[in-house]
Amino acid sequence: MKIGIISDTHGFIHPKIFDFFAQCDEVWHAGDMVSTDILDELSTITKVRAVYGNCDGWDVRGKYKEIEVFECEGHTVFLKHIIGNPKHYDYDVLPLIKKANPTIVVAGHSHILQIMNDAKNGWLFMNPGGGGKFGPHTHITFIRFDINSTDITNMEVYDEIKL
């Protein structure tokens, strides 16, 4: 499967998203879409999984959960907007992640692109950074990769300087 990950779009769909995610079997949105319209647009490309973020209103929160834990190609995925990062996970979130026993942890919120193996906890941590034009990030970023059983390959990052 080919997976796309995006976060913190804050009401903006970058025109390059459609090409970048065109071959994806699923797109995972890690929160702060601000409107369900964003997810409706992403659904024209492929299947979308999403969680709400701290900037999302009741329309988004009414349709999506705060946390999603699901299976994908033999991996357990933990998807939540505010998690922290491998150097400092939020103290109330770390037990929830450990209970889910994931192999992949996906976060948003920081607007900082991070893809790293968390050897201490035994999972791959990914934050796609800021996918929209609003927020503190200087680059618009989103990611895609292939997942097949134990293999995660072909990791690609879309990276554009935010003007």
H helical segments located in the chain: 17-20, 36-43, 58-61, 94-100
Question: Which residues are paired to 70 by β-bridges?
Answer: 77
Does residue 43 register a pLDDT over 90?
yes
pLDDT, position 89:
97
Over residues 100-140, the pLDDT tens digits come to 999 999 999 999 999 999 999 999 999 999 999 999 999 99
The residue-averaged pLDDT of 36-65 equals 95
pLDDT, position 163:
81
pTM of the complete model beyond 0.85: yes
Percent over 70 (pLDDT), the chain: 100
Nearest to 108, CA basis, from 86, 136, 80, 133: 80
pLDDT, position 149:
82
Over residues 88-98, the pLDDT tens digits come to 999 999 999 99
pLDDT, position 71:
96
CA angle 104, 17, 163 (to 5 degrees): 105
Task: Using pLDDT thresholds of 50, 70 and 90, give the confidence band for residue 74.
Answer: very high
Task: Using pLDDT thresholds of 50, 70 and 90, give the confidence band for residue 7.
Answer: very high
Q: Return d(Cα 27, Cα 125) in angstroms, integer.
A: 16
Does residue 62 register a pLDDT over 90?
yes
pLDDT, position 115:
98
The residue-averaged pLDDT of 19-35 equals 97
For residue 86 the two structure tokens come to 């491998």
Does residue 150 register a pLDDT over 90?
no
